[in-house]
Amino acid sequence: MDVKPLKIAQLGNPVLRNVSGNVEKFDLKTLQRLIDNLIYTLNFYNGVGLAAPQVNHPIRLCIIASHPNPRYPDAPTMEPTPMINPQIRPTSTETVKDYEGCLSIPGIRAAVPRYSGVRVSYSDRYGQATVKNYSGFIARIIQHECDHLDGLVFLDRTVSSMDIITEIEYQKLLHSRKNRP
């Protein structure tokens, strides 16, 4: 199979600031190949989610693929799940602030508030309508990736610039959290 890591657009690239268009046709070979390439690419770069505009395809498609890796050692495990034309609705009024990163913004982390639970309606890769509830870290990934489809990045969600830190400081924070008795 022709699968290779795709080049990821970096912050400043206008493609990250577009509102992406809906996917209308599901039977295209190019869409299926793009989904496979997105899954391969996010695994290659230790991501837990990736949106099509991040690889220069301004369409409403993202992959949610939480799993523990060096960038997110405590992430829960799930099957990589392509979501096409996703729509989210919060299932709680509660928001939780926690650190996020983004493959389009390397070296930077920021603590941003997200709803602790969401219901997401989307089409799967074969066009099958699906509705699912998610909470916690996976709900956070979904909100982050859906923002990409609207031209937003996690830095736009920060409450204060004081919540922005470097990857090196974030790794220190992770270790101090872990070593706490």
Closest among 78, 66, 87 to 137, alpha carbons compared: 66
Q: Give the total of residues touching Ni ion (CB under 5 A).
A: 1
State the Rg of the chain over Cα. 16
CA neighbor of 115 nearest in space, from 84, 86, 147, 85: 147
C-beta of 41: minimal distance to Ni ion in Å? 12
Closest residue to Ni ion: CB criterion: 102
Query: At its nearest, how many Å lie between Ni ion and the CB of residue 27?
Result: 28
Interface segment toward Ni ion; rule CB under 5 A; list 76-84, 94-102, 122-130, 168-176: 94-102
Q: Please answer whether residues 10 and 104 qualify as being in contact, where contact means their C-beta atoms are separated by less than 8 angstroms.
A: yes
Angle subtended at Cα 135 by Cα 76 and Cα 126, rounded to the nearest 5 degrees:
80
Q: Is 79 a catalytic residue?
A: no
CB closer to Ni ion, 109 vs 117: 109
Of the residues 79, 94, 100, 145, only one is catalytic, namely 145
- Give the dihedral sign, CA 61/67/68/70: negative
* String of contacts with Ni ion for each residue 47-86, x by CB under 5 A: ----------------------------------------
Interacting residues with Ni ion between 95 and 124 (CB under 5 A)? 102
In the complex, least distance from residue 181 CB atom to Ni ion, rounded to whole angstroms: 34
Q: What is the 3-state secondary structure (H, E, C) of 83-104?
A: EEEEEEEECCCCEEEEEECCCC
Catalytic residue set: 145
Per CB under 5 A, residues contacting Ni ion are 102
